[in-house]
Structure 1
Amino acid sequence: MLQPFVPGSGDARYLFAMTSLQPVGEAVDMLKRYIAYLAPVVLVIGLVLSWVYSRMVSRPLVRLTRSATRLSELDFAGQEEIRSKDEFGELSRRMTAMSRNLEAALAELRQANVRLKQDVEEKERSERLRKELVANISHELKTPLGIVKGFAEGLQDGVAADKRERYLSLIVTETDRMNALIMDMLELSRYEVRAVQLHPEAISLTSLIQKALRSFSGQLEEKGLRLEANAIGEAWQVDADSKRIEQVLMNLLSNSIRHAAEGGKLAIEVTRPSQGKVRTTIENEGPPIAQADLERIWEQFYRIERSRDRKSGGTGLGLAIVKHILTLHGSDFGVRNTAQGVAFYFTLNEIGGDTNDEP
């Protein structure tokens, strides 16, 4: 709707402004001609910019996804940390810290599980050994208790006076045997539950051997055994628990004398098989040990001749105790048949010697 313009004269007039649209038309025509060329360029530029932007945004997400996947598989070595100051970098650092904390927690849990497993196994082992000890005591004491009971009943029934002393002597003998058996069982059980602690010190092996031989002088004379002690005169110094090694010598000598032939020979030899090692060998003249028995001779209650061991006073535990003592000392020990009989041997570390043996 047109509005009139009224000047001061009062006449109504209309004001018109006119311009040419030719430049606009020319511009439109030009755009129409070049739009076919500009559109692909603009599209390509837009796609490139979109790809670059998507890569900038998606790459951290892909790396975070890989890290999360490895974390879910408990693979803590493949964490990819994003070193940026934006939200992606902060999230990456948090995930890395969580990975380290989780790895440490799992390591502690594994160690706790290992300790728990060891404790459970040790308790089961102790319970098994306790049951074996009770069963062994019951089995091994049955025979001597029966013997004692039989002789006691004979005394109760009033046996002849000439038999009373023999009955009483046999009762005392069987009682001593039972006491020795129980003490050996208790000591062996302490070794099996690892309750024995060694107290190694510099000791004279020569003195221990001489002391042990004096203890068996009566048995040697009774069986008519000839004693050969090679190299005993040398002052052999070893690093060992004096009390335990004396026990080893007593048990091995007792076993060797017990199974030696009447009028035979008992030989003790101390040598140095390698630098820093001292080997003690105790050999008797007597019957050899079968190969099957050689492999089992260190087992508890294993006797080659049960009746002979009962007659000579063996409990069947001496060599088992020897095995535990020498194992604690890190000794190389064993038994072998020889041309004359059977030889027991064991090694100890020599004082002042280099224990790192050359292969």
Structure 2
Amino acid sequence: MTSLQPVGEAVDTLKRYIAFLAPVVLVIGLLLSWVYSRMVSRPLVRLTRSATRLSELDFAGHEEIRSQDEFGELSRRMTAMSRNLEKALAELRQANAQLKRDVEEKERAERLRKELVANISHELKTPLGIVKGFAEGLQDGVAADKKERYLSLIVTETDRMNALIMDMLELSRFEVSAVKLQPEAISLTDLIRKALRSFSGKIEEKGLRLEAGTDEDWRVEADPKRIEQVLMNLLGNAIRHAAEGGALAIAVTRQSPDLVRATIENEGPPIAEPDLDRIWEQFYRAERSRDRKSGGTGLGLAIVKHILTLHGSEFGVRNTPRGVAFYFTLKEIGGDSNDEP
């Protein structure tokens, strides 16, 4: 019996050791389990949060896991996917915006086309009626002294219709942004003198006193063809509405260190204040009968507005003590050279 005593003591010792060690092992196991679960669950929670934000198209809220395990690799792939999605969506939004602009531009062009057709039909109605009436008169036979007058009126109305159609086509090109400027260094003074030479006959016919302050050579940056068109329209308008024997004044001055201002003023009846802002509209006439008698198409100032807007010009019209003045600005080249001593 004594030989089994050490074995019993060893068993008792082992039991006590196990009883002591079991809680320790359990605690350690629980701690290890908690640590491992944290190591696994935390990146999973972050990945879930990132996936939720991506599903809401919130690309700024992605949290990348910087580790070398599977979670880190998955996070890096999600980061790359987030960037690609953000880029693709940005390109898609840009494409949609461009498509919207294209559709709006197409609708605008179609609307302008319909308006052009309607305006042509309306504006050509009167001159076509006049031509038809005089042509029928010639066909029926008229006195010899009236034949020449009838033919002259037919030619006049035909020229009017041609001018109207050309102005309409020109205006339609501006309104669909089909006109591109070709700016260069030009002499505004030379363009004014050239335009005045073109109207010399009409100026003399109306007995207008020309007051042209164009002694200096004002050089500007502009499209010469388009600015000549502006001058021809404004001068033609000023001459048409100037009083017989009145004054026609043209002046170029420096408005600022890099801008020159051209002013064309006629001596004649003023424009009614409510009409001052509306005369730039197409087919708007303060006095419709006056424009028809004087040969205007009602489109010249609308074309001028488009040209000057493309040049970034400040332009307008105002009543003066003796008549009406139109003005516009252009960018000057070598402004210091024209400074007075």
Please state if 1:59 is matched with 2:42.
yes
Q: Which runs of 4+ in 1 moved over 6 A?
A: 37-40
Aligned equivalent of 1:202: 185
How far does residue 279 in structure 1 lie from its aligned partner after superposition? Answer: 0.6
Q: Deviations over 1:249-292 (max 9, x none)?
A: 01001111111222221111100010111110011122221222
Q: Deviations over 1:200-237 (max 9, x none)?
A: 1111111111111122122222222211112x010111
Q: 1:266 aligns with which of 232, 240, 248?
A: 248
Please, what is the CA RMSD of the aligned residues? Answer: 2.2
Secondary structure of 2:61's match?
coil
Secondary structure of 2:220's match?
strand
Taking the aligned partners of 1:170 and 1:30, their CA distance within structure 2 comes to 133
Please state if 1:188 is matched with 2:171.
yes
How far does residue 48 in structure 1 lie from its aligned partner after superposition? Answer: 3.2
How far does residue 160 in structure 1 lie from its aligned partner after superposition? Answer: 1.8
Aligned equivalent of 1:115: 98
The within-5 A match list for 1:333-344 is 333-344=315-326
Please state if 1:19 is matched with 2:4.
yes
Secondary structure of 2:169's match?
helix
Secondary structure of 2:277's match?
helix
Please state if 1:145 is matched with 2:128.
yes
Q: Bigger CA drift: 326-335 or 310-319?
A: 326-335
Taking the aligned partners of 1:322 and 1:170, their CA distance within structure 2 comes to 29
How far does residue 17 in structure 1 lie from its aligned partner after superposition? Answer: 10
Identity rate of aligned residues, in percent? 82
How far does residue 49 in structure 1 lie from its aligned partner after superposition? Answer: 3.0
Q: Deviations over 1:113-149 (max 9, x none)?
A: 1221121111111111111111111000000000111
Secondary structure of 1:347's match?
strand
How far does residue 51 in structure 1 lie from its aligned partner after superposition? Answer: 2.3
Instruction: Give the 3 Å change call, closer, same or farther, for CA 195–30 of structure 1 in structure 2.
Output: closer
Please state if 1:124 is matched with 2:107.
yes
Please state if 1:320 is matched with 2:302.
yes
Aligned equivalent of 1:285: 267
Letter in 2 for 1:215: S
Q: Bigger CA drift: 48-57 or 237-246?
A: 48-57
How far does residue 44 in structure 1 lie from its aligned partner after superposition? Answer: 4.7
Q: Deviations over 1:20-61 (max 9, x none)?
A: 265157548857xx95x8777665544433322221111110
Instruction: Give the 3 Å change call, closer, same or farther, for CA 351–25 of structure 1 in structure 2.
Output: closer
Letter in 2 for 1:272: R
Taking the aligned partners of 1:105 and 1:306, their CA distance within structure 2 comes to 56
How far does residue 189 in structure 1 lie from its aligned partner after superposition? Answer: 1.0
Taking the aligned partners of 2:289 and 2:47, their CA distance within structure 1 comes to 78
The within-5 A match list for 1:82-101 is 82-101=65-84
Taking the aligned partners of 2:335 and 2:27, their CA distance within structure 1 comes to 86
Aligned equivalent of 2:194: 211
Secondary structure of 1:266's match?
strand
Indicate the structure (1 or 2) with the bigger Cα radius of gyration.
1
Letter in 1 for 2:9: P
Taking the aligned partners of 2:8 and 2:186, their CA distance within structure 1 comes to 125
Q: Work out the number of aligned pairs and report it.
A: 335
Taking the aligned partners of 1:27 and 1:323, their CA distance within structure 2 comes to 109
Instruction: Give the 3 Å change call, closer, same or farther, for CA 353–95 of structure 1 in structure 2.
Output: farther
Q: Deviations over 1:42-86 (max 9, x none)?
A: 655444333222211111101101110111111112221112221
State the TM-score, normalizing by the size of structure 1: 0.88
Aligned equivalent of 1:179: 162
State the TM-score, normalizing by the size of structure 2: 0.92
Taking the aligned partners of 2:39 and 2:11, their CA distance within structure 1 comes to 43
Aligned equivalent of 1:250: 232
Please state if 1:331 is matched with 2:299.
no
Secondary structure of 1:61's match?
helix
